Chain A
Amino acid sequence: MATAEVSNKKTLKVQRFKPSDNPSNTYLTDEKGVWAWMTTVDHKKIGIMYLVAVAIFFAVGGALALLLRTELMTPAKTFIEADTYNQLFTLHGAIMVFFVLVPSIPAALGNFIMPMQLGAKDVAFPKLNLASFYIYVAGAIFTFIALAQHGLDTGWTFYTPYSTESSSSVIWVTMGVFILGFSSILTGTNFITTIHKMRAPGITWGKLPLNVWALYATSIIQVLATPVLAITVLLLTMERWLGFGIFDPALGGDPVLFQHFFWFYSHPAVYIMIVPGFGIISEVISTFSKKTVFGYWAIALSSLAIAFIGFLVWGHHMFTSGQSAVATTVFSFLTFLVGIPTGIKIFNWIATLYKGSIKMDTPMIYVFIFLFLFSIGGFTGIMLGALSVDIHLHDTYYVVAHFHYVMMGGTLIALLAGLHFWWPKMTGKLYNEKLAKIASVFIFVGFNVTFLPQFVMGAQGMPRRYYNYVDQFTAFHQTSTIGSYLLGVGFLIILYYLMHSLFKGAKSPANPWGSRGLEWQATSPPDFHNFDHTPVVIHGPYDYHQPMEEFQLGLAVDTNGHDSETAKEVVDKEREQWKNYSLG
């Protein structure tokens, strides 16, 4: 029994709680059955549902990518028609951006982990959290209706006037994206409030895990940028339906204005996708080097800096679009500024490794892959920010390669790192480490074989979104296609061993990596309410020089006044109370 003075006025009675290695009651054993899952307001279950949905969409998007790459084996038609090809790349882009990358880390992993890192029982608005998920599903249904009708062939960017003239089902998809936007907005709103109001005793802003900082920055972008996307697709829908004349030049509108509206969301959106990835990297790198993160504040604040500057650079997608010269100049200048906080992060992570105790387990391998690939993505981003060079490279495969290095080599690899890192926490099972390492080799090699040649052919002039291409690019395209198959194999291996671990994997201890993170001080898988007790935090999440015991403190007397009860009784009691809960 100990006491911690948590506020200026109050002294809390604190007691050490060791996570039990044999939990009688977890969130998985509680509330079983399909209906219980579908109506749950538990952030962990909602996180898992997002994860499954994202994985399904990723499989669809990935299959589309393989079809595209296969078509590009030969310069002319290989096996599908031009119109089909156009629909496939549009869907690949739209699905990967809106249904995979945007919700992947915040809504799936963030939902599961973030409240636990705060020592909270749930997010601030659990019902809203469930609502976000169903709004996401509704958005997906609209998109699938579009597929069943005439598909979509505008590219995921919906540029007018092509999108106002196209004979495909643009309106279904824009309405789908409109709905999906609200899912993202509500998640962001929920997270911001949660981070402000739901922190356990002792978690000051300076003790917030960097993953939470990253999610905080992400949520700010979601709340500020996504509404503009909503209004953009709404105006586009109206343009198509009623001929509003705002974006369609034939009716007096301005297609470049549409691009402004679109990129005002879609550029910050790339930070919605990548910044949560930064959070995961910080967590993993510190755990596997058993060392305090180097430059905590530099990493935390650079996320916010990226979130802010990220709003001011959207015009770098429009250097050749016919926007004014002064706008082009300003956007180019600001684009370089956003590169700096990103660079700061990379250097701080590398400095964290210095004199660490580095263990190359699978999550750490993915962090290394991330640092390598994302650096390339960043450098080529600087290349594309330089005005004269961008004029040559814009809308070529160089850009395709660049954003795949950032989005896939960055976000998706970070997602894989996070998934492998928190998999034992989420499922309570260990995966096959050897297979995981083999898969990571496939992913790394496959990725580079796929996308490195694209830099070269892009610089040589190969435009993007091309169904046919001139013969000189054949060798590059074929190499790229072979690489994509390797990538596919890598993902299949991952799917196999993760599924295998789910059903036949060894049981995981509460804290297999020896992390100091608060989420690891709960059982694996966690209790229904995350912690049996309200945690009290006295050390930062990366204080590896402090003994583990001091990370396992909780209120000796529970705030709810049932300290003598077992976890099961608490759950039962609270479920009873739920029946009387009102909306609010």
Chain B
Amino acid sequence: MILSEDKTMSEHNHHEHHVSSVGQLWAIGIALTLLTILTVGLSHVEIPAPFDVVVALTVAFVKAFLVCAFFMNLYWDTKFNSMLLIGAFAFFILMVAVTLLDTLYRNDVVPSF
């Protein structure tokens, strides 16, 4: 008897592992160093209150993206692993955001929305 099935047994497919070139890796390393110098430099520039944090974090996110995508090979990896990383970060944001919902609004006697 022939039994047919439409899906593969599980998600492991045969694929070539990505090998980064030396030039690529050095380029990322140098970019990260330059961004570090940039963020230190920017910290000496007077930027008004909330935006100094925004600028510092933006640079940090760009650096983190470079490390995750190219050093940690997420760029070539299965999308599921990227999803895990983004999911973890989303839950972290959730935790902070909902905690701030309390700590920032303690003074309101009743909800002000």
Question: Do chains A and B make direct contact within the complex (CB under 8 angstroms)?
Answer: yes
Q: Give the distance in Å from the alpha carbon of A6 to the alpha carbon of B7 in the complex.
A: 7
Counting CB contacts under 8 A, is B21 at the interface? no
In contact, B8 and A8 (Cβ under 8 angstroms):
yes
Segment 221-268 of A: residues with Cβ below 8 Å from B: 224, 228, 254, 256-257, 260, 264
In contact, A201 and B111 (Cβ under 8 angstroms):
no
Q: Give the distance in Å from the alpha carbon of A322 to the alpha carbon of B106 in the complex.
A: 8
**Which of B9-17, B27-35, B43-51, B59-67 forms part of the interface with chain A?**
B9-17
In contact, B102 and A201 (Cβ under 8 angstroms):
no
Q: Which residue of A lies closest to B88 (CB)?
A: A224
Residues of A within 8 A of B3 (CB): 2-5, 14, 538, 553
Residues of B within 8 A of A200 (CB): 9
Give chain B's interface secondary structure class: loop
In contact, A202 and B5 (Cβ under 8 angstroms):
yes
**Distance in Å: Cβ of A291 to nearest Cβ of chain B:** 23
Q: Give the distance in Å from the alpha carbon of A163 to the alpha carbon of B102 in the complex.
A: 22
Counting CB contacts under 8 A, is B22 at the interface? no
Counting CB contacts under 8 A, is A330 at the interface? yes
CB within 8 Å for A260 and B5 given contacts A197-B12, A199-B10, A325-B108: no
Q: Give the distance in Å from the alpha carbon of A311 to the alpha carbon of B98 in the complex.
A: 10
CB within 8 Å for A2 and B2 given contacts A7-B8, A327-B98: yes
Counting CB contacts under 8 A, is A196 at the interface? yes
Residues of B within 8 A of A330 (CB): 98, 101
In contact, B102 and A197 (Cβ under 8 angstroms):
no
CB within 8 Å for A6 and B8 given contacts A324-B101, A326-B105: yes
Residues of A within 8 A of B112 (CB): 326
Counting CB contacts under 8 A, is B19 at the interface? no
**Distance in Å: Cβ of A421 to nearest Cβ of chain B:** 26
In contact, A329 and B111 (Cβ under 8 angstroms):
yes
The total of chain A residues at the interface (CB under 8 A) is: 39
In contact, B98 and A6 (Cβ under 8 angstroms):
no
Q: Give the distance in Å from the alpha carbon of A323 to the alpha carbon of B113 in the complex.
A: 16
Counting CB contacts under 8 A, is B26 at the interface? no
In contact, B4 and A5 (Cβ under 8 angstroms):
yes
Q: Give the distance in Å from the alpha carbon of A325 to the alpha carbon of B113 in the complex.
A: 11
Counting CB contacts under 8 A, is A315 at the interface? yes
Task: Mark A1-19 against chain B: 1 for CB-CB distance below 8 A, else 0.
Answer: 0111111100000100000
Counting CB contacts under 8 A, is B94 at the interface? yes
In contact, B7 and A324 (Cβ under 8 angstroms):
no
Q: Give the distance in Å from the alpha carbon of A197 to the alpha carbon of B110 in the complex.
A: 50
Q: Give the distance in Å from the alpha carbon of A201 to the alpha carbon of B88 in the complex.
A: 30
Counting CB contacts under 8 A, is A346 at the interface? no
Q: Which residue of A lies closest to B8 (CB)?
A: A7
Residues of B within 8 A of A325 (CB): 105, 108-111
Q: Which residue of B lies closest to A195 (CB)?
A: B10
**Distance in Å: Cβ of A419 to nearest Cβ of chain B:** 29
Q: Which residue of A lies closest to B108 (CB)?
A: A325
Counting CB contacts under 8 A, is A203 at the interface? yes
Q: Which residue of B lies closest to A321 (CB)?
A: B102
In contact, A311 and B91 (Cβ under 8 angstroms):
yes
In contact, A3 and B109 (Cβ under 8 angstroms):
no
Q: With A2-B1, A325-B111 given, can you name 13 additional A-B contacts, CB distance below 8 Å?
A: A2-B3, A5-B5, A196-B80, A197-B10, A197-B12, A201-B9, A224-B91, A260-B102, A264-B95, A324-B103, A324-B104, A325-B108, A325-B109
Residues of A within 8 A of B (CB): 2-8, 14, 196-204, 224, 228, 254, 256-257, 260, 264, 311-312, 314-315, 322-330, 538, 553
A-B contacts, 24 of them at CB < 8 A, read A3-B1, A6-B5, A7-B7, A7-B9, A14-B3, A197-B10, A200-B9, A203-B9, A204-B7, A228-B95, A260-B99, A260-B102, A312-B94, A312-B98, A323-B102, A323-B106, A325-B105, A325-B108, A325-B111, A326-B101, A326-B105, A327-B101, A327-B105, A553-B3
Cβ-closest 9 pairs across A and B:
A324-B105, A327-B102, A4-B3, A201-B9, A326-B111, A204-B7, A323-B102, A7-B8, A199-B10
